[in-house]
Structure 1
Amino acid sequence: MSITDSDQPAASGLLPAITALRTAAENADGDALAEILAPDVIFHTPLTSRICFEGSTEVTALHRDIFAVIKDLSTTEPLTRGDTGVFTFSGNVRGLKLDAMNLVRVNEQGKIVEFTIFARPLPALATLFATLPPRVTARRRGRAKGALVAALAAPLGFALRTADVFVPRLI
């Protein structure tokens, strides 16, 4: 059951699209995700505002990488209004719990045209940053560049996981 604003009911294809997205995420099923994306879909990552992923082929491939890195995904019931819905999800990245919110917009055909992820806490997000971009880079640009991205991103994940152990004790 979703919570919907009565002044502006959900677009007819929104709830089925979100339900399919949640099911695809919980089952780590990139093929199922591909079926609900518009050809010109745009995905905004929580890792950087410098790039976004565009097109159903690239967004599907990215989610295969995401599903390989984030384990034990679970989702919540969505909130909807008009052509937009949100739901939260959680999972584990290298043993750290990641909590996130997915903001989804659909077109008139009920296909996802845009979605944005917001995530927390920072140590889990930094671990995701150290884990996912090397995998995506290796797929898109080759193993050598993937290794370079891993070398650049790994210290951030380590630093924030370490800080998360000590800083709260000092606050």
Structure 2
Amino acid sequence: MRLSPQGRRVLGCLIEKSLTTPDHYPLSANALRSACNQSTGRDPVVDYGDDDVRAGIDDLKPHQLVRTEYARGSHVPKTAHRLAEQLDLDPAQQALLGLLLLRGPQTPAELRTRAARMHEFSSTELVEAVLGSLAAHRFGPLVERRDREPGRREARWAHLLGPDDTDTQGGPPASAGATGRYRRFHDAVTAADWDTAIDQLARDVTFRSPAVHQPYEGRLATATILRAVARVFEDFRYVDTFDEGDRAVLLFEARVGDRDLQGIDLLRFDDDGMIIDFTVMIRPLSGLTAVVEGMRAALDGT
């Protein structure tokens, strides 16, 4: 089964909304267009019109993956997916396939974090087991495990319903504002490849820490901070991204000792695509306090 970019985006959105907002599902044409064009939880970000959404629905119809429904007393058609009937997929399988359709190849750990609103997985091992069931599906493999790429600590999984929008030039048109400049830094940090991450910093980068008032100036000072962060943070992972023009926002979660925390990396890029301004914010206060104490110890040891 090879679906068009529009078909993959529409199917992914229908899966997501059926699991996260069942009270507002199935989706009208307007709601489905809005879901396709969300700027969060999507890679790439697209700017679909009504014709694109209709093309996606039409692409799914020959595979009997969608149906049209009408609410009682309403003449507005709404669209629902038919994965349970056609492919015999349970909610856990649907959640993972939907994420792969919406965000491209991901590691089991990333999938577990991002699936939380759709389906709660108690462990990464359970995610891997469900992925295995999709790879061995009786109608043919729906996903595959890719070889670990250079610079990455974990292998990623990808769907098999068409070429990855993130890996090809023939996917749906990206939003005019989305540039993907953050991706090399994001992937290097995820892989704990700090040399590559630091290479993305401009020589005159300004780093603003959540712990001190005065900013750090220059690549060397910022690199020292980032390497200390790598020693202090545990279970660090990016959970979402926002990308617009010369700026990107990377949302992360981590642990320091017994404290869980959330934060954002605010990145601004120069004309060469290098990070020229880097601001970090962290919550809650107890997490920030643990970071300050850990960073002090790490920097004292350098």
What TM-score comes out, normalization by structure 1 length? 0.70
Counterpart pick for 1:9 among 145, 157, 177: 177
1:41 partner SS: strand
The 1-side partners of 2:177 and 2:238 are apart by: 22
Q: CA deviation at 1:20?
A: 1.9
> 1: distance between equivalents of 2:239 and 2:291?
21
Structure 1 portions without partners, runs of 5+:
140-171
Of residues 255, 271, 285 in structure 2, which corresponds to 1:92? 255
2:277 pairs with one of 114, 134, 149: 114
1:25 matched to 2:189: yes
SS of residue matched to 1:65: helix
Q: Which has the higher contact order (CA 8 A, sep 6+)?
A: 1
Asked whether the 8 Å contact 2:231–2:298 carries over to 1, the reply is no
CA deviation digits over 1:103-135, x for unaligned, max 9? 100001100001111111111110111110232
- The alpha-carbon deviation at position 138 of structure 1 amounts to 4.2
Measure the CA separation in 2 of the matches of 1:87 and 1:53: 20
Contact 1:3 1:78 in 2 (8 A): no
In the alignment, does 2:230 pair up with 1:67?
A: yes
Higher strand share: 1
What secondary structure is seen at the aligned counterpart in 1 of 2:240?
coil
Pair 122,42 (structure 1): closer, same or farther in 2 beyond 3 Å: same
3-state SS of 1:77 partner = strand
Aligned to 1:76: 239
Counterpart of 2:202?
38
Q: SS of 2:188's equivalent?
A: helix
Unaligned runs of 5+ in 2: 1-42, 48-173
In structure 2, distance between residues paired with 1:122 and 1:22:
25
Identical-residue share of aligned pairs (%): 25
Is contact 1:30–1:61 with CA below 8 Å preserved after alignment?
A: no
Give the counterpart of 1:102 among 260, 265, 289. Answer: 265
The answer to whether the 8 A contact 1:99-1:120 is kept is yes
CA offset at residue 87 of structure 1? 1.6
Residue of structure 2 in register with 1:47 after alignment: 211
Pair 1:74–1:7, CA change in 2 (3 A) = closer
Instruction: Choose between structure 1 and 2: higher helix proportion.
Output: 1
Give the superposed CA RMSD. Answer: 2.1
Q: Please state whether the residue corresponding to 1:128 is helix, strand or coil.
A: helix
Q: Distance in 1 between matches of 2:44 and 2:289?
A: 31
Q: State how far apart, in whole Å, the 1-side matches of 2:228 and 2:184 are.
A: 18
In 2, Cα distance between the equivalents of 1:28 and 1:19? 14
Q: TM-score, normalization: structure 2? A: 0.41
